[in-house]
Structure 1
Amino acid sequence: MITTEKKYSTQIQDEPKLVCKDHLVTGEEFQISEYENGILRTKPVPSDLGKYYESENYISHSDSKSGLQDKIYQLVKSHMLSKKAKWVRRYFKQGDILDFGAGTGEFLNKMKKFLWNVDGVEPNKTARDLAILKGLNLKPDLSELRIKKFDVISLWHVLEHLPDLEKKIQEFYDLLNEDGILIIAVPNHRSYDAEFYKEDWAGWDVPRHLWHFSREGLTEKFYDFNFELVDEKPLKFDSYYVSLLSEKNKNSSTNPLNAFYRGFVSNQRARKTGEYSSIAYFFKKTPKT
């Protein structure tokens, strides 16, 4: 069991810590401000968030392998699917799993091979259509799954996108079986690569990323909703990929050598501090008190 003390700040400053640019679609600037201890938020939140995902370069909604960046992403994703399945099966060899923000469905397809019963939610229609080609009928929202219960719910780089953060955490709690596991993978704004690239760090990804978490902030937030942190897994490839994107944000061109160096340094420092670029957290549902 991993334990943390609750350390919520009683005085949260509303002054922006950073001003970051949307490098993917509009070039608009957004503020990063403190929300709770260890949790930052993007301001303002656009009323039309959907348009900020309308880009051929938003790779999680496609299976593209056309460019170097796409090929690297898809290669790493394929490798990580096996790791993710192994992590899940440490808790349950088989069962019912919900992947929230399932993208084009690769992770669920992997779990089907281990004879899991799979369900997925993916708001983006383009991604859902690609999942259909793989035999997966993803739902656009949670409303169609209210009567079901799951042994595992996973969000692989999805929580940071959710406008209604607290509401969704409660819904995930209600959808889990007793002793169910909730897996949350998010960027870590206290990693070395985040500190080095500052406002150009690709992990900010404003305004698509509405929330920005530290290890302490995320753990404390889920503790409030009766989730106990039982494990963390570093996503070591993320430091390299995020650094590659950050180089482009900073210098208007990718520099693979610099990106590899910064990613390597980030992982090396994290071996001592635990502050990896991205981390997968494993929370166990506990009874409400």
Structure 2
Amino acid sequence: MLERLSKCPLCKSERFLNYAEITDHAVSKENFILCKCSNCELLFTNPRPTENKIGPYYNFPEYYSHEDKAKNLTQWIYQKVRNYTISKKVDFIRHLKRKGKLLDYGCGTGEFLKAAKNKGWKISGIEPNEKARNQANLKLNEKVKNSIEELNKNSDYDIITLFHVLEHIHELRKTLKNIITHLNSDGYLIIAVPNADSWDCKKYGKYWAGWDVPRHLYHFNSKSIQALQTEFNLELKEVKPMKFDSFYVSLLSEGYLQKDSSLLSRYWSAFKAGIKSNHSAKTPGQFSSNIFIFQKK
């Protein structure tokens, strides 16, 4: 079942236009419309599967963030890179605060939380996907909940992270408001999202894996990130690039674009595209994916 939005999910403007028609290359092969808000420039899938009906679009072997075991070479590479980036994420949050209370929203199978716990952090997680949540809870002694509503209302966190999660959340405004209420006054909200203004998006066009419809409901650029700050009374403190994402997104994109080509050809093309995408980014916010670090005003 599809739901049609009459307002922008971020700024609530009623002024938006059709932007592009994108195919779900990974699962259903269905086409979905992206709309662009005329006010804040957020791109959003419209119409979109309802929250109760989107589950099957995630239930496929290649949805790697819900899997612990590698089943093919691409997934093996993903997990090796993920293990490296997890250590970097822990270093990153420890640069902001040496230790404290951490909430990871959309924690997947819990690897990041496990690494943070090993460094002395008090951890909690939110993961709506039952399979991934069960795997996480085996590692984390039932510290992962299904939704933010299940958290103790008095729970406050020094750092709340959403690594490639915000683009998946149906109730965008309500969820962000709830998240921010759990953030300490001097805490940090860390949001990582793909960049539809990146070089690799322009290169691959409708085959860009970062669209990932209908799982990705939104796409942010600098103007929509500014709107997010305004709407939720946040202050952007810093922007960091996620340089590995350009390679991984390019690899998936090559698979959609060059289905009949050899694996070696796709890997080589993706490697070159990843290098060029990173080289073309003149500032951190222009990379294939970017990390935005916010505090309450």
Determine the C-alpha separation between the residues in 2 that align with 1:116 and 1:216.
34
- Answer whether contact 2:240 2:285 (CA < 8 A) is retained: no
Determine the C-alpha separation between the residues in 2 that align with 1:39 and 1:22.
20
Of stretches 95-104 and 164-173 in structure 1, the one that deviates more from structure 2 is 164-173
Determine the C-alpha separation between the residues in 1 that align with 2:88 and 2:109.
18
Q: Secondary structure at the match of 2:268?
A: helix
- Over 3 Å counting, the alpha-carbon distance change for 1:187 and 1:136 in structure 2 is farther
Query: Cα offset for 1:93?
Result: 0.7
- Answer whether contact 1:188 1:215 (CA < 8 A) is retained: no
Determine the C-alpha separation between the residues in 2 that align with 1:282 and 1:43.
28
- Answer whether contact 2:284 2:290 (CA < 8 A) is retained: no
AA in 2 matched with 1:39: L
AA in 2 matched with 1:279: N
- Answer whether contact 2:240 2:291 (CA < 8 A) is retained: yes
Identify the residue that residue 232 of structure 2 maps to in structure 1.
Answer: 225
Deviations 1:139-165 (A, max 9, x none): 011112133111110001000000111
- Answer whether contact 2:158 2:187 (CA < 8 A) is retained: yes
Deviations 1:120-177 (A, max 9, x none): 0001111012113313421011112133111110001000000111111111111111
Of stretches 51-60 and 216-225 in structure 1, the one that deviates more from structure 2 is 216-225
Paired residues in the alignment total 278
- Which of 144, 147, 163 aligns to 1:141? It is 147
- Answer whether contact 2:44 2:218 (CA < 8 A) is retained: yes
Alignment of 1:50-199 (within 5 A): 50-137=55-142, 138-145=144-151, 146-199=153-206
User: Is structure 2 residue 267 aligned with structure 1 residue 256?
Assistant: yes
AA in 2 matched with 1:127: A
Identify the residue that residue 296 of structure 2 maps to in structure 1.
Answer: 285
- Answer whether contact 1:202 1:245 (CA < 8 A) is retained: yes
Determine the C-alpha separation between the residues in 2 that align with 1:96 and 1:274.
27
% identical equivalent positions: 41
- Which of 7, 11, 18 aligns to 2:20? It is 18
Q: Secondary structure at the match of 1:229?
A: strand
Q: Secondary structure at the match of 1:34?
A: strand
Query: Cα offset for 1:11?
Result: 8.5
Of stretches 32-41 and 157-166 in structure 1, the one that deviates more from structure 2 is 32-41
Identify the residue that residue 3 of structure 1 maps to in structure 2.
Answer: none
Query: Cα offset for 1:82?
Result: 1.4
Query: Cα offset for 1:13?
Result: 3.5
Determine the C-alpha separation between the residues in 1 that align with 2:295 and 2:283.
26
AA in 2 matched with 1:271: K
Query: Cα offset for 1:224?
Result: 2.0
CA RMSD of aligned residues (A): 1.8
- Answer whether contact 2:110 2:140 (CA < 8 A) is retained: no
Q: Secondary structure at the match of 1:134?
A: helix
Determine the C-alpha separation between the residues in 2 that align with 1:68 and 1:180.
39
AA in 1 matched with 2:86: L
Identify the residue that residue 267 of structure 1 maps to in structure 2.
Answer: 278
Query: Cα offset for 1:222?
Result: 2.4
Determine the C-alpha separation between the residues in 1 that align with 2:222 and 2:161.
17
- Answer whether contact 1:247 1:259 (CA < 8 A) is retained: yes
- Answer whether contact 2:240 2:284 (CA < 8 A) is retained: no
Q: Secondary structure at the match of 1:258?
A: helix
Identify the residue that residue 5 of structure 2 maps to in structure 1.
Answer: none
TM-score, normalised by the number of residues in structure 2: 0.89
Deviations 1:247-287 (A, max 9, x none): 1111225501111111111000003584100001100112x
Determine the C-alpha separation between the residues in 1 that align with 2:216 and 2:110.
21
Identify the residue that residue 4 of structure 1 maps to in structure 2.
Answer: none
